[in-house]
């Protein structure tokens, strides 16, 4: 059974439609800017990839205020994807339509706000909605409610590998016969003081280019100094090719296979030799019955941190050797969307296959000898490709590598 994509929806620092996102991505535009949603004066990192507000047609203003920002993002992205796919619930069995939309730190804004209210006003100030809207499955559950999808609904939380794992497991749910249609992806919104302070305390964030935000995220560049937080969501509509063709849907691409592994090494740092990601990449190729040379584009996890980019380079070398495909990290433009990263970057892979254009890795100015990858430096590249691979590597050693393909 082949699992195909028939709809894509995106909310991101590069735009809140697939068209705008793709135009900005291939033009090499940065969506990173100075934080203006709160005063960042006292914070070492003062920049982020901030998505513009959205207003889903199926959430009124009151409903939007009740939910976390990441849930609103997920609903909007799902709406876009379903509209493009043309899925009509009255022609489907709702118990065979499911949702898997994960998040790394879902509800952190709601939980933080209620903590402040509790500390200043006591227990009576805590909202009765804090738990149901702040838990990690809130977005996936609400998207199902909004669309009437009563099939498999679960959330996978693997930090920055979440989006890719959700897509891979949703594809497996269809392969196993549990569903006909799945909405899959990731959503995240963590541009709040509490989260910026937490990641800042880890010394994970870029702090050296607060005065020129668009140049701060520079994966694989010698002068990188940390990642830039981003926010947004991406949702894909998945179904079997038989189901898609039976209802006359346009097929945008194929989910070939997900590979996964764990570093089992450290709570945050990756293994320096890249053996964990390499194992996930090799598994994806083996299960997908592909050879390394079949991959025409590689969307790297590429966070712009010293450790990640160097270890991922070792993984790429271990898998591809001297036949490394063109590589870019689109985080150079939209920042690191944490649990939504794999979904947004998976969408970028599908669009690269569809349009025959490989997104650039901007801000690549000074090559790093430890990161000698086949970089798509600063400008997009035209190339007709059949397969693209994306890495998502999460804190805790969670590794996901997913292959997307052209559907012929």
Provide the 8-state DSSP code for 12.
B
pLDDT confidence of residue 130: 94
pTM: 0.97
User: Can you give the pLDDT of all 408 residues of the chain as single tens digits?
Assistant: 999 999 999 999 999 999 999 999 999 999 999 999 999 999 999 999 999 999 999 999 999 999 999 999 999 999 999 999 999 999 999 999 999 999 999 999 999 999 999 999 999 999 999 999 999 999 999 999 999 999 999 999 999 999 999 999 999 999 999 999 999 999 999 999 999 999 999 999 999 999 999 999 999 999 999 999 999 999 999 999 999 999 999 999 999 999 999 999 999 999 999 999 999 999 999 999 999 999 999 999 999 999 999 999 999 999 999 999 999 999 999 999 999 999 999 999 999 999 999 999 999 999 999 999 999 999 999 999 999 999 999 999 999 999 999 998
Which residue out of 243, 336, 349, 398 is catalytically annotated?
336
Which residue out of 147, 301, 334, 398 is catalytically annotated?
301
pLDDT confidence of residue 332: 98
Q: Which token pair is 268?
A: 């945050």
Answer yes or no: are the C-beta atoms of 74 and 101 closer than 8 Å: yes
Is 301 among the catalytic positions? Answer: yes
**Strand pairing report for 387-394 and 295-299:** parallel
Is 160 among the catalytic positions? Answer: yes
**DSSP readout, 151-212?**
S-B-----GGGHHHHHHHHHHHHHHTTS-SEEEEEEEE---SHHHHHHHHHTT-B--TTTTS
Q: Which token pair is 260?
A: 């996964």
Answer yes or no: are the C-beta atoms of 182 and 298 closer than 8 Å: no
Q: Which DSSP helix (H) or strand (E) runs through 98?
A: strand 97-102
Q: Which token pair is 161?
A: 């590998």
Answer yes or no: are the C-beta atoms of 76 and 11 closer than 8 Å: yes
Answer yes or no: are the C-beta atoms of 265 and 226 closer than 8 Å: no
Q: What are phi and psi of 260, to 5 degrees?
A: -145, 150
Helix (H, G, I), strand (E, B) or coil at 140: helix
Which residue out of 70, 97, 160, 371 is catalytically annotated?
160
pLDDT confidence of residue 359: 98
Answer yes or no: are the C-beta atoms of 391 and 329 closer than 8 Å: no
**Strand pairing report for 295-299 and 253-262:** unpaired
Q: Compute the Cα dihedral for 240, 245, 247, 248 and give only its sign.
A: positive
Is 120 among the catalytic positions? Answer: no
């Amino acid at each position: 059974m082949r699992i195909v994509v028939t709809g894509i929806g995106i909310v991101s620092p590069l735009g809140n439609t697939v068209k705008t996102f793709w135009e900005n991505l291939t033009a090499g535009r940065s969506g990173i800017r100075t934080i203006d949603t709160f005063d960042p004066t006292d914070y070492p990192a003062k920049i982020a990839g901030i998505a513009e507000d959205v207003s889903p047609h199926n959430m009124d203003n009151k409903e939007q205020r009740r939910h976390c920002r990441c849930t609103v993002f997920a609903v909007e992205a799902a709406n876009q994807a379903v509209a493009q796919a043309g899925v009509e619930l009255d022609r489907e069995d709702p118990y065979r339509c499911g949702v898997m939309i994960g998040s790394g730190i879902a509800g952190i804004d709601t939980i933080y706000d209620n903590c402040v209210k509790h500390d200043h006003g006591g227990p009576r100030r805590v909202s009765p909605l804090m738990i149901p809207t702040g838990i990690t499955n809130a977005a996936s559950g609400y998207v199902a409610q909004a669309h009437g999808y009563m099939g498999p609904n679960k959330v996978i939380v693997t930090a920055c590998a979440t989006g890719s794992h959700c897509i891979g497991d949703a594809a497996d749910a269809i392969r196993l016969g549990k569903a006909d249609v799945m909405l899959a992806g990731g959503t995240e919104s963590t541009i709040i003081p509490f989260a910026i302070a937490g990641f800042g305390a880890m010394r994970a964030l870029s702090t050296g280019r607060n005065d020129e935000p668009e140049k701060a995220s520079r994966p694989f560049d010698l002068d990188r100094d940390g990642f830039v937080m981003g926010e947004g969501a991406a949702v894909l509509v998945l179904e079997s090719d038989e189901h898609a063709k039976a209802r006359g849907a346009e097929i945008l691409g194929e989910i070939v296979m997900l590979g996964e592994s764990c570093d089992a090494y450290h709570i945050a740092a990756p293994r320096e030799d890249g053996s964990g990601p390499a194992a996930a990449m090799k598994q994806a190729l083996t299960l997908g019955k592909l050879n390394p040379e079949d991959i025409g584009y590689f969307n790297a996890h590429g966070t712009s941190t010293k450790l990640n980019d160097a270890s991922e380079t070792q993984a790429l070398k271990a898998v591809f050797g001297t036949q490394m495909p063109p590589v870019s990290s689109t985080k150079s433009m939209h920042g690191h969307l944490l649990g939504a990263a794999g979904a947004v970057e998976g969408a970028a892979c599908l669009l690269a296959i569809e349009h025959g254009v490989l997104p650039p890795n901007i801000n690549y100015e000074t090559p790093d000898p430890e990161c000698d990858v086949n970089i798509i430096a600063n400008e997009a590249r035209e190339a007709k490709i059949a397969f693209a691979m994306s890495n998502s590597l999460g804190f805790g050693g969670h590794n996901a590598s997913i292959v997307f393909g052209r559907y012929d």
